[in-house]
Chains A and B, each alone.
Chain A
């Protein structure tokens, strides 16, 4: 701080700084629908991803859920020494995405997703049956609470300026 900062020079310095940004226009706002930030692949996103092949229907997830937002039913008879999961419903409108069910699942059959934009017009649309819970191009599992998955992920910086990518 120079001696003259208190004599009006400080004001001039401030004006010079903002004048510079006015002309150089560094723009840090992400134009959301057109531009998106890279989200972390370890994100505890607002959705669950369920892998039908691994699930045994043990219902540990449903019991561990503080919200009671998982509902599942298995077949009565054993098929190939296994109970078939006939119903697996997750009410995403009630879920608080705490991840307790993912942590509890002993067979790594349940993942947090890393999608967002999961809003719906009706509450009923947020209750997803097992077909919709499965992994798809749009519904990718995150590495939350899955250390073996996380180990394979590349190091990633998050929400850093310049890391935007256009999706469309």
Chain B
């Protein structure tokens, strides 16, 4: 019944992810409103809960505009190229432990995390296609920025993930979750910080949303999009955010496991709770920090995250050699190292706060 398995999980992913994305869009708009001293959408339904539905209906009825001088085919395909990888990420996320009812599409893929890193970079090509097909200067500037940003932040991201792989001794996501007797966020705080910042940058979310900077380039790469194509970009952004939250929950927060093994093992509930948790932190960060400048963006990736992620790998590797299996008490030295390194490294360089230094 192999095909039934595939049919079922493709249905689950295609159904659950958009529903989750809509819920998260509502959550984000309400939460962001609260962070900014305003109520957020509150007219459509109780607490504005129908706002994503209203938005969807609005966006479906909008006119689809294609720039005359643009590349029509590229313009047409780009939203799909951006959207598909966001969904593909979910195929390898394990929902439940071995023997559970809903385990996921291919949770035991032995190169699961490599697959995620590979697949999630595809959306950048979609962004560039959107910019090229639009024949718009702002779109292109935005795509250039996006390229530079993703290339820079992919490295600390992958290196932070490598720390997890070293500690778990496997690339399969199920294996990584099983290896977390103590969640890796406690065992490798430095790795988590690097992963989280780099992932936020990969997502192009504030404070790294340079390619959508409204005050500089209106809407960036999707400036020439309208109607359902625009909605696909919007959906992809959130689906990808949920995807990254799911990856963070799986890699660092113990995935489907109940925290420290206490509490009931209730299906995929813990995973959803953890995804929600990570998403809320991303949202909190978005509501707090102003956008960074391009030079600060690059400086931060190459001068701060990159060296720290290298150091992180060396520490984890040395520890796995000295104490195979990584006993839980390593969390104390690791936390101390993380704190010291962050403070020391912040002192080593300046990003030129506030003013361009030429």
Of B29-37, B54-62, B147-155, B316-324, the one with at least 4 CB within 8 A of chain A: B29-37
A3 CB, min distance to chain B CBs, angstroms: 10
Query: Whose C-beta in chain B lies nearest to the C-beta of A24?
Result: B34
Interface of A is mostly: helix
Interface of B is mostly: helix
A3 to B126 CA separation, bound complex (whole angstroms)? 44
Residue A75 interfacial (CB < 8 Å) = no
By a CB distance below 8 angstroms, the chain A residues around B289 are 11, 14
Query: Whose C-beta in chain B lies nearest to the C-beta of A17?
Result: B288
A98 CB, min distance to chain B CBs, angstroms: 34
Contact of A29 among B35, B38, B288, B347 (CB under 8 A): B38
Residue A121 interfacial (CB < 8 Å) = no
B139 CB, min distance to chain A CBs, angstroms: 31
Residue B342 interfacial (CB < 8 Å) = yes
By a CB distance below 8 angstroms, the chain A residues around B332 are none
Contact of A8 among B36, B346, B350 (CB under 8 A): B346
B37 touches A21 (CB 8 A): yes
By a CB distance below 8 angstroms, the chain B residues around A7 are 342-343, 346-347
B342 touches A8 (CB 8 A): yes
Residue A67 interfacial (CB < 8 Å) = no
The interface bits of chain A over 9-37 (1 if a CB of B lies within 8 angstroms of the residue's CB, else 0) are 00100110111011001111101000000
B287 touches A18 (CB 8 A): yes
B37 touches A22 (CB 8 A): no
B284 touches A19 (CB 8 A): yes
A14 touches B342 (CB 8 A): no
Residue A122 interfacial (CB < 8 Å) = no
A4 to B339 CA separation, bound complex (whole angstroms)? 12
A27 touches B39 (CB 8 A): yes
Residue B285 interfacial (CB < 8 Å) = yes
By a CB distance below 8 angstroms, the chain B residues around A29 are 37-39
By a CB distance below 8 angstroms, the chain B residues around A18 are 35, 284, 287-288
A25 touches B34 (CB 8 A): yes
A38 to B135 CA separation, bound complex (whole angstroms)? 49
Residue A167 interfacial (CB < 8 Å) = no
Residue A168 interfacial (CB < 8 Å) = no
A26 touches B284 (CB 8 A): no
Contact of B288 among A15, A26, A28 (CB under 8 A): A15
By a CB distance below 8 angstroms, the chain B residues around A6 are 346-347, 350, 353
Identify which of residues 249-299 in chain B touch chain A, using a CB-to-CB cut-off of 8 Å: 284-285, 287-289
A/B interface sample: 15 pairs, CB < 8 A: A6-B347, A7-B347, A8-B343, A14-B289, A15-B284, A19-B284, A21-B34, A21-B35, A22-B31, A22-B34, A22-B287, A26-B37, A27-B37, A28-B38, A31-B42
Task: Give A contacts to B, CB under 8 Å.
Answer: 4, 6-8, 11, 14-15, 17-19, 21-22, 25-29, 31
List the 10 closest A-B pairs by CB distance, nearest first: A7-B346, A18-B288, A29-B38, A7-B343, A14-B288, A18-B35, A28-B37, A22-B34, A18-B287, A22-B35
